[in-house]
Homo-oligomer: A and B are copies of this chain.
Amino acid sequence: MGTSGRQGPAGAEGRRARRHDPQRRTRILDAALEVLVADGVAGITHRKVAARADVPLGSVTYHFASLADLLAQAFAWYVGQRTAEYEALFTEVATRADLIEILVDLVQAGPSRHRGAVLGFELHLAALRDPALRALTHEWTRASRAVLARLTGPETAARLDALLEGMIMHALLSTEREPREETRAAIAQTLGPAAVGPGA
């Protein structure tokens, strides 16, 4: 609880001045994402972000017009990173088996994917109510499917995308991990028997 980084005299525990700090903007965005992972959209505040970024409170409101703005930019920043990662993930895929293995990893990765999964769901839910964010989710969904679609065709990509989303949510919430074999079978089934590859 506000141990560190409280602003204002009430708890002025040091933080040396750091004038001239390029990439402060992105440090704040990263901090915002961390807060989102920890506390969700329901729990994000300027103060928490400032504390985590180790910048003064005023710096956050200076760089971002409002909390909603900060949220939108943070999500956009995240989606941008994520999309690149996602694309990179499939560049080496040559065979159907390669693809399956990568998708199984995606679902099973567990704690390491936690951050990504949580942010994804937070964004989805926020977008449900904020049209400004919806543009982002649309573009993200489109991009994800496009990546898959290059390997599987569009219908299968859409199905896969839905299946993966559902499985990841379940994995996130269940205490015991689903057997890897089970995950693989579900993906393989959805993928269908067809060959896979940029030329498919």
Main secondary structure of the interface of A (DSSP, over half): helix
State A185–B125 Cα separation when bound (angstroms): 27
Interface size class of A (residues with CB under 8 A): 35 or more
Minimum Cβ distance to chain B for residue A68 (Å): 12
In the complex, 7 of the A-B residue pairs with CB atoms within 8 angstroms, ordered by the A residue number, are A9-B25, A124-B169, A134-B175, A141-B173, A159-B186, A161-B170, A166-B169
Instruction: Judge if A200 is at the interface, Cβ distance under 8 Å.
Output: no
Set of chain B residues within 8 Å of A17, measured between Cβ atoms: none
> Does A42 sit at the interface, judged by CB under 8 A?
yes
Determine whether the beta carbon of B155 is less than 8 Å from that of A161. Answer: no
- How far apart sit A69 and B12, CA to CA, in the bound complex (Å)? 14
